[in-house]
Structures are given as C-alpha cells and as structure tokens.
Amino acid sequence: MTIQIGDTVPEVALKYIHDGVRVIDTPTLFSDKHVVLFAVPGAFTPTCSEHHLPGFIEQFDAFRKRGIDVVCLSVNDPFVMQAWGESLDVPDGLLMLSDGNADFVKAVGLDMDASAYGMGTRARRFALYAEDGVVRQLFVEAPGEFKVSSAENVLAHLD
C-alpha cells in the first residue's frame, strides 16, 4: 500500500557517505524536523541529473529559509550517491541518501520494477514533505513524467 498524507514515515535505515559510510534511520532523519525527501529512479540518469536534483539545488536556500531540510534518495549505493552529489555541486546540508536495497521505497509503496531497463527495483519519482515524521504533502509522478515532484512545485504547495 502506498503511503498517504497523515501516515508516519516507516522506520528504515539508509546510508550516506561522510568520513566513511554512515547509517541514519528515518526516525532520526524526520523527528522534530520539517523535511522534504525527493526520490529519483537513478543517480546519473538524464531527468534526475538534468532537472530533478538541479531544481532542488537551485531552490535549496528557499527550503532552508522555511526551516525545511532537503533529502535526495535513490536506490543506488552510497558511493554512487556521493559521486553524483559531487558531480552536481550539491550544497552542504542537502543529504544524498542511499536506499540500496529499496527498503524505504518498498516500505512506502513507491517502488517500481525497472528490470526492462536493466535497473532492477527502483524508486518511483516522488517527493514528500513531512513534519515530525508525519507526511503532510505527497507528490507522486505518473510513470515517465516529471511535473509534480519538482522543487518549484513542492515549494508552491508548502504555503
């Protein structure tokens, strides 16, 4: 079942690189915070690298001015996420998280089978906004689209 507005973000461990591989669980990531987490099907893929992540980089300060943390998540390993972030000059504070086994995207019901493209299980393209671990806004793309989960659209819906 797909996560809904009003649901609590499920407890899952995710990874990132900061002086080695680090683990962060979702309660730590979301508790007592306002967080936008956006998920992409794959690091270094065209729409993700040319539009989705760059939009959040461009709007990062606008989110931070509202007291909102920004997190990028993909079903890639943490080393790939680090390299992708470095290649696009992700600002400090925009966390690049690895959901390498798709545990998070499966738990929120937003996984997809990309086996036809040689990519296995991946995240559907989406963004969610949570306050203290409770989903307040959810932006899930139709297959093959990039409209509702853009940084600009998410910001416009947070007023």
Provide the β-strand partners of residue 115. none
Annotated catalytic, 72? no
What SS3 class is residue 22?
strand
| Alpha carbon separation from 35 to 16, 20, 64, 84 (Å, rounded) | 17, 24, 10, 21
Instruction: Please tell me what DSSP assigns to residue 2.
Output: -
**Which of these is catalytic: 29, 35, 39, 48?**
48
End-to-end CA gap in the chain = 28
> β-strands 34-40, 68-74: how paired?
parallel
Active site residues: 48
